[in-house]
């Protein structure tokens, strides 16, 4: 494969001596792809982005972006990157255009060039109508898009987007997805974080799942889905029938059902989707168990984490080659 | 629009002097635009010193008038204006702390730090724009002062030189405020923190009244601290040598004030820059 454009090697970062935000994270991103960092709140996604964008020094490890050692030569690294942080960093009292032009100037573009580029990216991100209004009149989603526009103005080789679609309405979200895909078609490499599995699924060529600072899975979207076994069934039954139900589910689905501590909701992978659901309903009906609630769900991030971290007894860590020959750590649910 | 995406242009590496200056100007412009777009900010921060001016002139003017040196030509306002200019310079510098904490808390500084811009530009642009802004407020005060009876007793050149000294002092004070802002980080907390150095320096000084009536321990401090020295430099330049304490010369006070400003800059510029480097971890 091509030389990786982002290389992270054994990065560790501890805050205040106790919060381990990143624990020995190693990953590589090949050029021209969208790479997704998937993880729940506090997983360490933002921390990793901040290390890669020269904002934070890790305790140990190496990081390289576009052939530049981020820790040894942050100045050069900054010329190669664009960053749209988790919270829009735009000036309320400037217009959208002034914001983007200013960032262009700070990338070293001439006045004329920064005006031209600002016009292009604002157009591209569909903010041209609002470009000459003060940002304080923008909606939250418009501000995020503006932030994204600003991160593009310097033509970065690698673009870091921290939760680019959080707080954006569904339509604009698709817009942003399209924009990101276009960027990659143009040769930019995008490293983005998200809390949404569907976003990682739709958008990212490769996905790294992190939790509590550790990389727990790395691979393509299909790899990730394999570890999940596709859809899941969620159901609730009267408490006195729960044990019986779990036994039945185990037999049908060939996997260990999990029970939510608080809601007592039972979750079980449904390898064949609707067919598995039908089987379950028939079997329960035959046993005169009437679920109080039942539904078929595509895997959510919760399911990913339940599967990847929730059951140490049933999961086994394997070192195995990922499809393109690189070594990656994956947890596979043993069934 | 494919042009948006081609990742070709190699960026610049280390910031050269022209680039540094350019970046400083970009940041300065951005900060000044805020003042233009939020005129209430300027209006409010101008009202306060003007209120001081009016209150002190009309409330204390009569009582204090008699104790003033003859150089004030019997008018308290002539005595007061140089003092208030310096007070305004010191208070106005507090904006530096406020502006920085706002940028920090809104993540704007994070963005700046991820850009290939000169590192020094954020602080330099901030203090420069606050200098320009304070120059505006000081000039406005001067206009109001003249309207209610202030007259310089030396020459126009003396007046302009006096205002320039106040600006230098304001710039130096901005760097103290920058350090405080980067230390405190929180925009609400910093509102209180900026008064800590300003109040003792402004009130234990010759800004409002001559220092002769203060207890001797306080007077020793008051006569030698930077605000009094700077106020005296202004009075010497604007009212003449007769406005100074016996034994002090105009040149002496001007040089001493500039020396104080240089000292503050020498101490607080490196300190603020160091704090800035660490501010985002
Ligand atoms: N500056 C800091 N000081 C102390 N702890 C921090 C700091 N920044 C992050 N942390 C801690 O490090 C951990 C990882 O945080 P991080 O912001 O990287 O998570 P995240 O994956 O981006 O989460 P989210 O989805 O909520 O944005 C958290 O436990 C967080 O509390
Ligand atoms: Mg985050």
Binning pLDDT at 50, 70 and 90, where does residue A197 land? Answer: confident
Mean pLDDT of chain A: 85
The band of B280, judged by pLDDT with boundaries at 50, 70 and 90, is low
Over the stretch B169-192, which tens digit does the pLDDT of each residue have?
Answer: 999 999 999 999 999 999 899 988
Residue A229: left (phi > 0), alpha (psi -120 to 50), or beta? left
Per-residue pLDDT tens digits for B77-116 = 898 999 999 999 999 999 999 999 999 998 899 999 999 9
Mutation pick for ligand 1 pocket among A8, A13, A19, A57 (CB with most ligand atoms within 8 Å): A19
Note the pLDDT of residue A276: 87
A86 lines ligand 1 (CB under 6 A): yes
**Whole-Å CA distances, A132 to A97, A100, A135, B16, B226:** 6, 11, 9, 32, 45
Tell me what pLDDT residue A58 has.
Answer: 94
pLDDT tens, position by position, A95-146 = 999 999 999 999 999 999 999 999 999 998 888 899 999 999 998 888 988 9
More confident residue, A24 or B38: A24
- Burial status of residue B157 (CB atoms within 10 A of its CB: 0-12, 13-18, 19 or more): exposed
Residues near ion ligand 2 (CB < 5 Å) are: A 45-46, 86
Q: What is the mean pLDDT of residues A79-102?
A: 93
Centre of ligand 2 from the C-alpha of residue A126, in Å? 26
> Model confidence at A332, in pLDDT bands (50, 70, 90)?
very low
CATH number of A6-224: 3.40.50.300
For residue A316, the model assigns a pLDDT of 31
- Measured distance CA(B72)–CA(B242) in Å, rounded: 8
Question: Whose alpha carbon is nearest atom 11 of ligand 1?
Answer: A21
Please tell me which of the candidates B6, B12, B117 has its beta carbon nearest to residue A155: B6
pLDDT at A324: 34
Alpha helices in A91-216 (DSSP H): 96-106, 111-124, 140-152, 170-185, 197-203
Ligand 1: residue whose CA is nearest its atom 22: A46
Helical residues (DSSP H) of chain B, grouped into ranges: 17-37, 39-55, 61-65, 76-105, 108-114, 121-147, 156-184, 187-193, 195-203, 216-224, 226-239, 250-278
- Residue B269 pLDDT exceeds 50: yes
Q: How many Å lie between the centroid of ligand 2 and the Cα of residue A162?
A: 7
pLDDT classification of A299: cutoffs 50, 70, 90:
low
Confidence of residue A309 (pLDDT cuts 50, 70, 90): low
For residue B135, what are the contacts with CB-CB under 8 A and spacing of at least 6? B163, B167, B170
pLDDT tens digit sequence for B113-147: 999 999 889 999 999 999 999 999 899 889 999 99
Say if residue B29's pLDDT is above 80. Answer: yes
**B42 band by pLDDT with thresholds 50, 70 and 90:** confident
**Phi and psi, residue A169, nearest 5°:** -70, 160
pLDDT value at A323 more than 50: no
Highest mean pLDDT: which range of A321-330, B47-56, B57-66: B47-56
**Between residues A296 and A329, the one the model is more confident about:** A296
Contact B280 A80 (CB under 8 A): no
For A286, counting Cβ atoms within 10 Å of its Cβ (0-12 exposed, 13-18 middle, 19+ buried), the class is exposed
Contact B281 A54 (CB under 8 A): no
Domain boundaries, chain A: 6-224, 229-298
Write the residue in A90, A93, A107 that is nearest to B116 by C-beta: A107
CA of residue A277 relative to chain centroid, distance? 29
CB of A25 sitting under 6 A from ligand 1: no
> Which residues lie across from A29 on neighbouring strands?
A6
Share the mean pLDDT of chain B. Answer: 88
Are the CB atoms for B137 and B47 separated by under 8 Å? no
Ligand 1, closest atom to CA A56?
1
pLDDT of A312 over the 50 cut: no
Q: Compute the average pLDDT of residues A301-319.
A: 49
| Residues B262/B173, Cβ–Cβ less than 8 Å | no
Mean pLDDT, residues A14-37 = 93
Q: Is the pLDDT of residue A300 over 80?
A: no
Question: pLDDT for A150-159, tens place per residue?
Answer: 999 999 999 9
Does A117 or A227 have the greater pLDDT score?
A: A117
Q: Output B157 or B63, whichever has higher pLDDT.
A: B157
pLDDT value, residue A318: 35
Q: What is the mean pLDDT of residues A62-73?
A: 95
Across residues A175-191, what is the average pLDDT? 90
Segment A174-190 mean pLDDT: 89
Given CB atoms, is B13 within the 8 Å cutoff of chain A?
Answer: yes
More confident: B65 or B102: B102
Q: How many CB atoms lie within 10 A of CB B18?
A: 8
pLDDT band for position B75 (cuts 50, 70, 90): confident
Indicate the pLDDT class of residue B8, thresholds 50, 70 and 90: very low
- Position B14 confidence tier, pLDDT thresholds 50, 70, 90: low
- Residue A71 has a pLDDT of 94
Q: Nearest residue on chain A to B102, judged by CA atoms?
A: A91
Partners of residue A88 in chain B, C-beta under 8 Å: 107
Q: How far is CA A82 from CA A95, A192, B115, B152, in A?
A: 20, 12, 8, 55
pLDDT of A303 reads: 65
- Of all residues in chain A, what percent carry a pLDDT higher than 70? 88
Residue A198 has a pLDDT of: 81
CB contact under 8 A, A106 and B113: no
- Going by CA atoms, what residue is nearest to atom 1 of ligand 1? B281
* ipTM confidence: 0.84
Output the CATH code of domain A229-298: 3.30.70.260
User: Can A6-224 and A229-298 be said to share one CATH topology?
Assistant: no
What is residue A1's predicted lDDT score, i.e. its pLDDT?
60
Please state the rounded mean pLDDT for residues B251-258: 96
Share of chain A above pLDDT 90, in %: 47
Ligand 1, atom 2, residue with closest C-alpha: A15
- Cβ distance of A120 and B1 shorter than 8 Å: yes
Following CA atoms B253, B255, B256, B262 in sequence, which dihedral angle do they give, to the nearest 10 degrees? 150
| % of chain B surpassing 70 pLDDT | 94
pLDDT at position B56 is 85
Contact (CB, 8 A) for B140 and B88 = no
Say yes or no for a CB contact (<8 Å) between B111 and A102.
no
Instruction: Please tell me which of the candidates B5, B9, B26 has its beta carbon nearest to residue A106.
Output: B26
Task: Report which of A43, A46, A38 is spatially closest to residue A224, judged by C-alpha positions.
Answer: A38
Residue A147 CA to residue A124 CA, distance in Å, equals 13
The predicted structure's pLDDT at residue A305: 66
């Amino acid at each position: 494969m091509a030389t990786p454009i982002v290389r992270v090697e054994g990065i560790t970062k501890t805050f205040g001596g106790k919060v381990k935000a990143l624990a020995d994270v190693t990953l590589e991103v090949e050029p021209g792809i969208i790479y997704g960092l998937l993880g729940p709140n506090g997983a360490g996604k933002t921390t990793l982005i901040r290390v890669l964008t020269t904002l934070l020094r890790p305790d140990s490890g190496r990081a390289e972006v576009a052939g530049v050692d981020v820790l040894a030569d942050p100045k050069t690294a900054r010329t190669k990157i664009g960053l749209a942080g988790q919270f829009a960093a735009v000036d309320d009292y400037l217009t959208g255009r002034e914001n983007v032009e200013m960032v262009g100037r700070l990338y070293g573009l001439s006045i004329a060039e920064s005006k031209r580029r600002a016009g292009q990216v604002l157009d591209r991100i569909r903010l041209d109508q609002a470009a000459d209004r003060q940002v304080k009149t923008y909606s939250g989603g418009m501000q995020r898009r503006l932030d994204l526009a600003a991160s593009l103005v310097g033509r970065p080789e690698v673009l870091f987007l921290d939760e680019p679609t959080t707080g954006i309405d569904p339509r604009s979200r698709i817009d942003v997805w399209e924009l990101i895909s276009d960027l990659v078609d143009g040769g930019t490499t995008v490293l983005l974080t998200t809390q949404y599995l569907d976003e990682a699924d739709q958008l990212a060529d490769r996905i790294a799942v992190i939790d509590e600072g550790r990389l727990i899975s790395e691979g393509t979207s299909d790899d990730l889905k394999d570890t999940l076994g596709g859809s899941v069934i969620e159901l609730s039954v009267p408490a006195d029938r729960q044990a019986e139900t779990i036994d039945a589910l185990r037999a049908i689905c060939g996997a260990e059902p999990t029970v939510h501590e608080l809601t007592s909701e039972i979750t079980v992978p449904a390898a064949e989707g609707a067919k598995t659901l039908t089987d379950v309903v028939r079997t329960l009906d035959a046993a005169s168990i009437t679920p109080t609630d039942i539904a078929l769900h595509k895997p959510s991030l919760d399911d990913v984490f339940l599967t990847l971290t929730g059951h140490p007894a049933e999961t086994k860590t394997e070192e195995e080659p990922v499809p393109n020959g690189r070594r990656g750590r994956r947890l596979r649910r043993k069934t | 629009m494919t042009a948006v995406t081609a990742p070709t242009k190699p960026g610049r590496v280390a910031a050269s002097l022209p680039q540094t200056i350019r970046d400083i100007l970009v940041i300065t412009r951005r900060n000044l635009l805020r003042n233009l777009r939020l005129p209430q900010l300027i209006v409010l921060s101008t009202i306060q010193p003007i209120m001081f001016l009016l209150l002190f002139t009309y409330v204390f003017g009569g009582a204090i008038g008699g104790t003033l040196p003859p150089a004030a030509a019997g008018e308290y306002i002539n005595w007061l204006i140089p003092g208030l200019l310096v007070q305004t310079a010191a208070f106005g510098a507090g904006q530096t702390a406020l502006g920085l904490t706002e940028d920090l808390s809104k993540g704007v500084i994070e963005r700046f730090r991820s850009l290939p811009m000169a590192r020094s530009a954020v602080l330099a642009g901030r203090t420069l724009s606050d200098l320009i802004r304070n120059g505006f407020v000081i000039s406005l005060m001067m206009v109001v002062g003249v309207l209610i009876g202030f007259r310089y007793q030396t020459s126009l050149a003396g007046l302009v030189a006096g205002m320039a000294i106040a600006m230098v002092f304001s710039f130096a004070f901005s760097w103290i405020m920058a350090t405080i802002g980067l230390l405190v980080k929180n925009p609400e907390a910093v509102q209180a923190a900026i008064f800590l150095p300003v109040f003792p320096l402004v009130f234990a000084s010759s800004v409002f009244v001559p220092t002769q009536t203060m207890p001797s321990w306080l007077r020793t401090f008051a006569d030698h601290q930077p605000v009094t020295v700077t106020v005296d430099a202004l009075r010497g330049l604007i009212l003449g040598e007769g406005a100074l304490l016996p034994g002090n010369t105009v040149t002496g006070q001007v040089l001493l004030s500039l020396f104080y400003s240089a000292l503050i800059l020498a101490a607080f510029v490196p300190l603020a820059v160091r704090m800035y480097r660490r501010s985002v971890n």
